[in-house]
Structure 1
Amino acid sequence: MVKKYIPVLSIAGSDSGGGAGIQADLKTFAALGCYGMTVITATTAQNTQGVRDIFPIPAAHIEAQLMAILEDIPPKAIKIGMVNQPEVVEVLAKTLKRYPHIPIVFDPVMVATSGDRLIADGTVSLLKEQLFPLATMITPNLDEAAVLTGYQVDSVEKMHQAGKDILAMQCKAVLIKGGHLFTPTIYDILFQQYKSKQSYESPYIPTKNLHGTGCTLSSAIAAELAKGYTLKKAVEKARIYVHGAIESGKDIQTGQGNGPLNHFYNPENQIIHEVE
């Protein structure tokens, strides 16, 4: 028998402030007992107050990173975050279509918490055409849902409409995240092909420390899928984790702007499986 960790891969941008992107994903994987790996698509110069600069990684190097992982440590699940160049979309689609057995959670990062746009013009249509069909689930927030649908998503009713419209974009499942409504109850709605929609609720936590919430949720879902949970259960467990990370970090000051979550408020031990 061979002992192995549960490996999970994040394909995303690097946040120099440590609150979102690759950094948030690795913290989440570790907190949930998984072994985190990365393919970095871009580096950013940012802090809690906003994004100052974005440096895209060449597509050839992204492909080299990805193949190095897939050929040696095949992940049990993949989270995709910031993909802001058309050539990167093409590289990821070309490679990942050869691994249809690996669940993919795609968080279409387009707008930062600060309001900064993080995706190049012309990339959105390629995401829909090439990455959406490969993903197990898409997890847009309200701003990203608006970019994808072309209309404002500013109510629970509009969330229902956006979920149906995005699901029609060759998606297997869509989780519309309603945190930006800032209502007393936060609603996230899961839409799946040929299944009834599922609504999740949690109380709103008043805090400005929400930087990286979307990255954390999508990477938590990927970690739970890697453990073998169903999509519905993985979303449920990931939301509980994120709610706790927000609650425990709501009064902690990190920087002068939008602070991060407390990812390690209740860490799990590293999970080790024995395989033949």
Structure 2
Amino acid sequence: MGYFTGIGERSVTLAASPSIVLAFGPFDPSGADGLPADAVTCGALGCHGLSVLSGILVQDSTGPESAQALSPELIDDQARSLLEDMPVQAFKAGAVYTPEAASVIAQIAADYSETPLVLHLGAGLLPTEDAAEADADEALHEAILELLLPQAHITVVEHHLLTRWLDEGLLPRGDSDADDPAQILIDNGAQWVLTLGQPAPQGGLINLLLGPSRQTASWPCMPAQPRTHDTAGLTATALAAYVARGNDMRDATEQALRYARQALEHSFQPGMGLRMPRRFAAEV
């Protein structure tokens, strides 16, 4: 079936709508991460990316300097407007900056519980030496773990962050008797957890997928290249895209890790700071 374009007599075939991913996150003007990068990743993987702004970063290629949070009401209005208009096959939650924002996203995920949510845990917290800001960061961390984590179908997190949070008491054990921080996340309500850069028993590093009934799968972890942006957000967005396209959790994880590895292998340095993954260079 075609439609008249108004240019000559040519008819254009209407293409089927691609799978849609709705990403919650900040605007990163450098394009290293956040919503601009998420949209590019979705496009590279054959999906259409929708964006719900959680904050605005001041950032260049060296990293973030500051973040301005959006109100939870604005976050909710953005998301509800999109969800009432278009069918969404997957959510991705990146950085949020207030407990109220985490609560709003958790409520949206609960209202659309049939839509898988990929949570990038650990995104968005800026280093601070101010006691009041540190307390606010702890409250935000607590809200994400208590409200958002149980709504996520899979959580993507760096192993070193989980270990640090466990040591600092930011990852509550609850009734868990596990030593593995990823299993503690499962015991705290997570469904699936993908930990990046976890030490393997035989040496080296692996990316470990842990799921219900202690299901596991692992893949080799490429050693981190010097002066390269963190790729956990890239992996989480790619995972959301593959889930949106109908892949099961294990296959979506494997494909997302492969995509992130190839994008990183073709990384480039656009400024004086860190290298960035080349999202359209990967074979998909």
**TM-score exceeds 0.5:** yes
Percent of residue pairs bearing the same amino acid type: 24
Asked if residue 18 in structure 1 is aligned to residue 31 in structure 2, the reply is: yes
Give the C-alpha shift of residue 26 in structure 1.
Answer: 1.0
Residue correspondence of structure 1 range 26-37 to structure 2 within 5 A: 26-37=39-50
- Distance in 2 (CA, whole Å) between partners of 1:74 and 1:136 is 18
Aligned to 1:130: 147
Q: Bigger shift: 4-13 or 233-242? A: 4-13
Of 118, 136, 141, 2:158 maps to 141
- Distance in 2 (CA, whole Å) between partners of 1:206 and 1:75 is 35
Aligned to 2:183: 164
Asked if residue 79 in structure 1 is aligned to residue 92 in structure 2, the reply is: yes
Contact preservation (8 Å) 1:33, 1:267: no
* Secondary structure, aligned partner of 1:223: helix
Gaps (5+ residues) in structure 2?
A: 2-13, 129-133, 170-177
Q: Quick one: structure 1 residues 10 and 180, their matched pair in 2 at CA, closer, same or farther if it must change by over 3 Å?
A: farther
Give the C-alpha shift of residue 109 in structure 1.
Answer: 3.0
Aligned residue type for 2:39? L
Aligned residue type for 1:163? A
Asked if residue 220 in structure 1 is aligned to residue 222 in structure 2, the reply is: no
Give the C-alpha shift of residue 148 in structure 1.
Answer: 4.2
Give the C-alpha shift of residue 259 in structure 1.
Answer: 2.0
RMSD of aligned Cα (Å) = 2.6
Of 58, 62, 67, 2:71 maps to 58
Gaps (5+ residues) in structure 1?
A: 153-158, 269-276
- Distance in 2 (CA, whole Å) between partners of 1:62 and 1:253 is 32
Aligned to 2:10: none
The answer to which structure, 1 or 2, has the higher relative contact order (CA under 8 A, 6+ apart) is: 1
Contact preservation (8 Å) 1:24, 1:212: no
- Distance in 1 (CA, whole Å) between partners of 2:188 and 2:159 is 17
Residue correspondence of structure 1 range 129-208 to structure 2 within 5 A: 129-146=146-163, 148-150=165-167, 161-178=180-197, 185-204=204-223, 206-208=225-227
Give the C-alpha shift of residue 146 in structure 1.
Answer: 3.4
Give the C-alpha shift of residue 212 in structure 1.
Answer: 4.5
Q: Quick one: structure 1 residues 179 and 39, their matched pair in 2 at CA, closer, same or farther if it must change by over 3 Å?
A: farther
Aligned residue type for 2:263? A
Contact preservation (8 Å) 2:198, 2:208: no
Name which one, 1 or 2, has greater alpha-carbon Rg.
2
- Distance in 2 (CA, whole Å) between partners of 1:67 and 1:217 is 26
Give the C-alpha shift of residue 80 in structure 1.
Answer: 0.4
Q: Quick one: structure 1 residues 95 and 203, their matched pair in 2 at CA, closer, same or farther if it must change by over 3 Å?
A: closer
Aligned to 2:175: none
- TM-score where L is the length of structure 2: 0.82
- Distance in 1 (CA, whole Å) between partners of 2:179 and 2:156 is 14
Contact preservation (8 Å) 2:199, 2:206: no
- Distance in 2 (CA, whole Å) between partners of 1:48 and 1:116 is 17
